[in-house]
A = this chain, B = another copy of it.
């Protein structure tokens, strides 16, 4: 006789709730950094209460670790391979770090959470597991690991200046000029160590 109560959105669905929290966490940590966001904010954006974060993830720190893993897993850093690696990656990077771009991404999460020592450890491990490995595969020759992390450093620096701080010269620079220089930077880092000679 009595009809079943209309099932609310995501009600009584542990997996969906967990996923909603995780999605909200990635966004919030990317926008405001580890210390800049509270579990209440994340829970609210996920449509649940703060308590469930501890229920499903144990603590804010564990939630952050999972969020970092999700954010760093996709192969977004490098586009293109071989001779087109430098130019294509540079153009993608310049477009994504444009002041008016709304795109989020692992570099923003990284920069905005780096101040917290625990968060820094978690991200260092995630880089070793994901981004560092991806990049090292693309590169070859002597010093590939070092050059891969130098590419990450260049990218992080550009994200910092253009999107986090918003300095004027980089904001106003013509994208094609900027892309030209960034391409040259990546070309330098694409050279194996034995071929590289400064000021030839």
Q: How many copies of the shown chain assemble into the complex?
A: 2
In contact, B170 and A150 (Cβ under 8 angstroms): yes
Binding site secondary structure of chain A: helix
Interface flags for A71-97 (1: CB within 8 Å of B; 0: not) read 000000000000100110000000000
* Residue of A32, A36, A123, A124 ringed by the most chain B CB atoms within 10 A: A124
In contact, B187 and A199 (Cβ under 8 angstroms): yes
In contact, A170 and B198 (Cβ under 8 angstroms): no
Report the contact-size class of chain A (Cβ under 8 Å from the partner). 35 or more
User: Which of A's residues lie within 8 Å of B, judged by CB?
Assistant: 32-36, 83, 86-87, 110-116, 120, 123-124, 127-128, 132, 136, 143, 145-150, 152-158, 160-161, 164-170, 173, 177-178, 180-185, 187-189, 193, 196, 198-199
